[in-house]
Amino acid sequence: MKQRPTQNLVNAFVRHTTGVLELNRPKALNSLNHEMVDIISDALETWRDDDSVHRVIICSSSERGFCAGGDVRSCREEGLAGDFDSGDRFFRAEYEMNRQLEEFPKTIVAVIDGVAMGGGLGVSVHGSHRVVTEKAFAAMPEMAIGFIPDVGTTWMMQRMVGECGEAIPELATFLGITGWRLTPADMLWSGLATDLIASEDVDRFIDTVIAESLDDALEQYAHPLDFVDAGELEGLLPDIRATFGHDSWAEIDHALSSHGNAAFVARVRELMAKSSPTSVVAAAELYAANREARDIAHALENEYALGAALRREHDFSEGVRAVLVDKDRNPTFEPSHTGDVDVDFYRTILKHR
């Protein structure tokens, strides 16, 4: 794909019988803005009912990664200038695109060679296939920026089934609240990834999907699990089940405090050291609500309502500042303890169960 550089933030074109969406905003690690979401949405709407398009590939023009998230830097700037409307419209459009992907009646293959966080998972988890390389990694890192896990992941990740063989809702809550960075093996085990190829084969893999079929391309290029190092996540499952299967942060926190495996608890506390207490409390409520949500549209509505509230709060501008603007990774969150967060305020926002 690297032979056709253009000015477009997403290159959308049909080759043979495959619709190709190539994310092309390399300087921002393909973080999604409103224009990119509109290009993807329009292409999906066209290709959905076009019988000459048999499948869709989502990939990156950049060797640096797949997609680092949403353009939260712009959201912060607009918010500081008193404009929350632009952010509202962006997130509405992004979540509508996530819903479109979830409903799309044809094969959608995301090719993930490098980072996939936040919005990058939103354009991949709702499709049928996520093909990862040994360079892939994934995370929901929103606790660090005073936001919440979104783009339909709080619904889909509680329901996906990987090599582990079952949906594990507590695992989704753990991943969202700790921001755990999943390795390729973790991704295949949990269901975030469906297939594994070598990074050096990405262009040939995509060309083969286009010239032949996904099955042929996987037959030629897929590797077994032992192509990558074993993941650590699977081994944490008993501890995760024992602690993260609750409907509020207060209960999860209590379970952690009385949990027998001190090394696991210390690990969780360390992963959460730079988290917004408000984000943590709100996220636990969101996972509980979306565990029961009747469909993805209701789940996205919960994410939207909660996210819209958080984007108007101090921790969002402070978190984005600390992680993405000044990059000092030293935010001052307020309140600074989860016990001082008004949980009822966030619980009330979540209407859909």
Phi and psi torsions of 259, nearest 5°: -80, 140
Given a contact cutoff of 8 angstroms between Cβ atoms, the answer to whether 164 and 236 are in contact is no
Kindly state whether residue 176 participates in binding ligand QUE, applying the rule CB under 6 A: no
Which of 68, 228, 252, 288 lies at the binding interface for ligand QUE (CB under 6 A)?
68
Q: Which of 19, 70, 122, 152 is catalytic?
A: 70
119 given a catalytic annotation? yes
Please identify which residue in 10, 20, 21, 28 interacts with ligand QUE, judged by CB under 6 A: 28
Q: Which stretch binds ligand QUE (CB under 6 A): 46-54, 66-74, 126-134, 208-216?
A: 66-74
Nearer to ligand QUE, 182 or 324 (CB): 324
* Shortest distance, position 27 Cβ to ligand QUE, whole Å: 7
SS3 (DSSP) at 288? helix
Residue 23: strand pairing partners? 10, 60
179 is catalytic: no
Tell me which stretch binds ligand QUE (CB under 6 A): 140-148, 170-178, 209-217, 284-292: 140-148
In 3-state terms, what secondary structure has residue 277?
helix
Q: How far apart are CA 22 and CA 319, in angstroms?
A: 29
What letter does residue 166 receive in the DSSP assignment? Answer: S
Rounded CA-CA distance 211/196 in Å is 20
Q: Does 149 bind ligand QUE (CB under 6 A)?
A: no
Residue 148 in the binding site for ligand QUE (CB under 6 A): no
**Distance (Å, whole) CA 284 – CA 244:** 9
φ, ψ of residue 329 in degrees (nearest 5): 50, 35
The site that binds ligand QUE (CB under 6 A) totals a number of residues, namely 16
Cβ-closest residue to ligand QUE?
A: 69
Tokens of 86: 């632009």
| Per-residue interface string for the shown chain with ligand QUE, residues 94-123, x marking contact by CB under 6 A | -----------------------xx-----
Intra-chain end-to-end CA distance of the chain, in Å: 42
Closer residue to ligand QUE, CB minimum distance, 111 or 323: 323
Which one from 94, 150, 195, 318 is the annotated catalytic residue?
Answer: 150
Residue 145 in contact with ligand QUE, rule: CB under 6 A? yes
Q: Quick check: is 295 catalytic?
A: no
Determine whether 38 is an active site residue.
no
DSSP for 30-45 reads: T-B-HHHHHHHHHHHH
Beta strand 55-60 with 129-132 is unpaired
For 125-186, list the strands marked E by DSSP.
129-132, 137-139
Rule CB under 6 A: is residue 69 a binding residue for ligand QUE? yes
**Contact positions toward ligand QUE, by CB under 6 A?**
28-29, 31, 68-70, 72, 117-118, 141-142, 144-145, 147, 323-324
Catalytic residues: 70, 119, 142, 150
